[in-house]
Structure 1
């Protein structure tokens, strides 16, 4: 029995890291590669090539990743792309090819959700409240941090709606509250909005499956409302800051956080005009320099020296061209189509992650950060694998 748990633990090591160590360092995605190598080695020793054959033949998400990886590899040599993206993509691809998906079942996912939720709350309380460093003091950038937290929020709400045991329901309800608290304390507007939009869609989807528990929903609404009253000070501070930035923009001052984003987005047609098909790759800073020399952008935008455009859709089309943008849209849309074969639980989990990342992509670049890219590729990839059995999992 101990041997079985040890083997399963080693195979699940990347997902354990995604619920613990991923929060603790800006380079935690590099350590993730080591975890993946350990998992792959253990899977091959235990199952041989049986899982590889099954996964490659049946999993269309893996096929998509192979196409994306081929294009990214070409782009890497053509004009350069982020090595962090390449590393996360190839590591995720290899893990998905070898991973025995049945290990990441409902019980395992519940345990990982509890660990990931509590770890996230501990980190945000320690750095934001105890050390009083604010969101800039997090070991991981606050926006990727909150995207991970929002993902665990989705897991907890979906698992809450799909469990019948009262004890498990109470635990998952606590995880919902913990993740909402972490999101509020991280002071990230985009991911907080994304989390609540995702929850609304999931509840509507649950109504479609006729599985909704009105007592749980009513209790959740009451407690979540109470949490907002408890945490109203950081919420009010963020709203006030947003209002100040809005009034600055109205007065023509575009040097605030939102104003600089507007300037970046306005520069997109100028940045992409010389290579619409393939993009400019990692040359975005030199392109910004060229625009500044021509007086096409402001001093404030030039001083920012951006490495990305604070919008994943625009960032993709500028850096990777129209071809890269099309592949990116497939990465967002194909998993939802494939999830139709996985049943209510995994379809809602997939839908939730896609909504979180789609909305977060409006003001950030979650697919550029190694931590959040791993979260998306691995969980989406594994959830999609449950369709391999060709039976509904509810």
Structure 2
């Protein structure tokens, strides 16, 4: 019995780490590699290749990830730039191909999400309220960290909807959603906050148009409006005042504020794209930025920022990887809807994929969430899970 439980722990651990610890540590993906290898060895000894033979058949999302990985390797060879994080995505591919998926039960997903949420709020609370650090100097980048919290919150909400009749799952999922939402509030990340409130609006429409009892509708909508109002009230200075002020500064030629700098970055990116429209610049776009500066097409303030990306997932991808990269990005984001169309899924599962995709798209309008390995891993794991039609509660 001890040996069996230990083997089960080894197999489950990488999954729990994917949606909890890997985004709380800067080297979380390296730890993921180690525990994934242990899980794969344990699986091979316990189950052999039986799960692999079952999982590899008709697994279109995994096929997509494999194709994107191969393209990324080829692109890296020519441009020294990765389209996706190979280390993380290979861990996900190998893990979900070799392990028996029934081991990742609804209870495992639910409690792993709770662990991730607790870890998220603990980190944010420690950085902001104990160390009193400005978000710009947090030990982890607050923006992708907030995007991870957004995915956890969305997944927890979806679990509430799908398993509303399972008291344990519902209770734990509500707790996870609230905790993750509070963690996002602490980050004061505007792009993610806008994504949160957009998701709340989608939930409002979903509940209002779904055939459930009036009592449940009123309760859910009341909770949603209350939490949303509290969130807006808490972050109104950051969300509204700072944004309006940033637009004003941009009009006056000041590119130093967060809002103004983003507008200036998008303008610079749109000037760069026509120069390398097909394959993009890779990560070596700094000489082109320097040329724009010498041609007086961008300000010295923007030039001195030494840009790593352009704070928009779609614009940034087009600059770095060209039209080819943009097409691959759109394929990656919208391919799950093709799977949903070709296969019979419940309304709840379809809504799950929509909410996760919608959240990452809205976040991607002001940042590059999918460029961060932690966000990318968390996103593909939950997309993959909700593309599976059923999860047994064990």
Matching residue of 2:327? 326
Of the structure 1 ranges 43-52 and 201-210, higher mean CA displacement relative to structure 2 is found in: 201-210
Structure 2 residue 162 is matched with structure 1 residue 159: no
Q: Secondary structure at the match of 1:116?
A: helix
Matching residue of 2:241? 240
Matching residue of 1:338? 339
Of the structure 1 ranges 148-157 and 87-96, higher mean CA displacement relative to structure 2 is found in: 87-96
The equivalences for 1:161-200 within 5 A come to 161=161, 162-166=163-167, 168-200=169-201
Distance 1:216 1:153, change over 3 A: farther
* Cα distance in 2 between the residues matched to 1:321 and 1:53: 37
Structure 2 residue 360 is matched with structure 1 residue 357: yes
* Cα distance in 2 between the residues matched to 1:166 and 1:13: 25
Distance 1:230 1:152, change over 3 A: same
Structure 2 residue 11 is matched with structure 1 residue 11: yes
Distance 1:137 1:256, change over 3 A: closer
Whether contact under 8 Å (2:73, 2:82) holds in the other structure is no
- Structure 2, unpaired ranges of 5+: none
Whether contact under 8 Å (2:107, 2:169) holds in the other structure is no
The equivalences for 1:69-218 within 5 A come to 69-82=69-82, 85-161=85-161, 162-166=163-167, 168-202=169-203, 204-205=205-206, 210=211, 212=212, 214-218=214-218
Whether contact under 8 Å (2:369, 2:375) holds in the other structure is yes
Deviation at 1:306, TM superposition (A): 0.7
* Cα distance in 1 between the residues matched to 2:232 and 2:323: 43
Distance 1:275 1:152, change over 3 A: same
The equivalences for 1:244-263 within 5 A come to 244-263=245-264
Structure 2 residue 381 is matched with structure 1 residue 378: yes
State the superposition RMSD in angstroms: 2.7
Whether contact under 8 Å (1:199, 1:352) holds in the other structure is no
Deviation at 1:173, TM superposition (A): 2.7
Deviation at 1:72, TM superposition (A): 1.0
* Cα distance in 2 between the residues matched to 1:110 and 1:130: 29
* Cα distance in 2 between the residues matched to 1:260 and 1:104: 43
Deviation at 1:71, TM superposition (A): 1.5
Of the structure 1 ranges 85-94 and 186-195, higher mean CA displacement relative to structure 2 is found in: 85-94
Q: Secondary structure at the match of 2:254?
A: coil
- Structure 1, unpaired ranges of 5+: none
Matching residue of 2:53? 53
* Cα distance in 2 between the residues matched to 1:342 and 1:205: 17
TM-score (norm 1): 0.89
* Cα distance in 1 between the residues matched to 2:230 and 2:286: 43
* Cα distance in 2 between the residues matched to 1:214 and 1:138: 44
Whether contact under 8 Å (1:19, 1:112) holds in the other structure is yes
* Cα distance in 2 between the residues matched to 1:209 and 1:15: 32
Distance 1:95 1:106, change over 3 A: same
* Cα distance in 2 between the residues matched to 1:366 and 1:326: 17
* Cα distance in 2 between the residues matched to 1:57 and 1:169: 32
Of the structure 1 ranges 191-200 and 351-360, higher mean CA displacement relative to structure 2 is found in: 191-200
Distance 1:293 1:88, change over 3 A: farther
* Cα distance in 2 between the residues matched to 1:220 and 1:134: 34
Deviation at 1:223, TM superposition (A): 4.1
Cα deviation digits, residues 362-385 of structure 1 (max 9, x gap): 11111111111111122222332x
Whether contact under 8 Å (1:152, 1:179) holds in the other structure is yes
Distance 1:275 1:228, change over 3 A: closer
* Cα distance in 2 between the residues matched to 1:218 and 1:378: 32
